[in-house]
Structure 1
Amino acid sequence: MELKAKGSTSIKALLVEDIGVCRLVLSTFLLRLHCEVTLAMNGKEAVDLFLEGKKFDIVLFDKDMPVMTGPEAIVKIRAMGETDVKIVGVSADNHAMEAFISAGADLFVPKPIRMEALGPIIQDVINKKTNDMV
């Protein structure tokens, strides 16, 4: 499912989260930050989107999901040569950072995520995209 904010930037975000409340909160934050948001319920759905040729500027992955975990999906996505996409691991699990970083994530943000934490990450993606166009 894709969601677009009014006046959205060209930033394409993929949110991979199996819990409805977390999906709602994070997608609302991303929309407020003017991202175009695609939702996936688990890691396999995320990997399938990349296999279909979809491109994203940033992906937020939950850790523990049914079918395929966030770190498992990250390994597969990086193995496809997707090195330009910023991947952010998101979890309430105390040991999640190590799992995400060793899988190939660029960053880890503990849950609950606050808008103040997500804003600068999205701004970095916007800045990088702007610089790549120059």
Structure 2
Amino acid sequence: MTSYVEGSPVKALIVEDSAVEIMVLSAMLRRFHCEITIAKNGKEAVQMFLEGKKFDIIFCDKDMPVMSGPEAIEKIRTLGEIHVKIVGVSIDNAQEEFMRVGADEFLPKPMELDVVGAIIQEVIKKKNNDTV
């Protein structure tokens, strides 16, 4: 188990093919001092886990080229990544589809800062509790 320094940055992975969406979500996450990594599609995200990279939270878009969000989430969970919080994100109501493959939450686009902030606070609290 990795130990975290109090207040250490949350490692966030944004899986998104839209440059605008990446900019918007990155700006939100920077407000909470997150360490941000970008994957342009689901296959890139899965590859990062195969390489041993670890994240505290993933924001994963639904419709992307190469591999969709739900496909990527299913593969990431199959790799045994059960502790990472996964948030499915889509312009259409895809909550059921994301939950079925192992997402923890679903956020409709456009995402709101206070909702993203609440989720990040939850992850920070969990990280701090894991060190106790």
Q: Which amino acid aligns with 1:48?
A: Q
Cα distance in 1 for residues equivalent to 2:114 and 2:9: 21
1:103 corresponding residue in structure 2: 101
2:115 corresponding residue in structure 1: 117
1:5 corresponding residue in structure 2: none
How high is the TM-score relative to the length of structure 1? 0.92
| Residue deviations 1:94-126 (CA, integer Å, cap 9, x gap) | 2x1011000100000100001011001000000
Q: How far does residue 33 in structure 1 lie from its aligned partner after superposition?
A: 1.1
Cα distance in 2 for residues equivalent to 1:27 and 1:101: 24
Q: Does 1:129 align with 2:124?
A: no
Q: Does 1:75 align with 2:74?
A: yes
Q: Judge conservation of contact 1:13–1:35 (CA < 8 Å) in 2.
A: yes
2:31 corresponding residue in structure 1: 32
Q: Judge conservation of contact 1:9–1:36 (CA < 8 Å) in 2.
A: no
Q: Which amino acid aligns with 1:107?
A: E
Q: How far does residue 9 in structure 1 lie from its aligned partner after superposition?
A: 3.3
Count of aligned pairs: 126
| Residue deviations 1:31-70 (CA, integer Å, cap 9, x gap) | 1111000001000000000000000000000000000000
Runs of 4+ in 1 over 3 A off after TM superposition: none
Give ranges in structure 1 of 5+ residues lacking alignment.
1-7
Q: How large is the RMSD of aligned CA atoms in angstroms?
A: 0.9
Q: Does 1:54 align with 2:57?
A: no
Identical residues among aligned pairs (%): 63
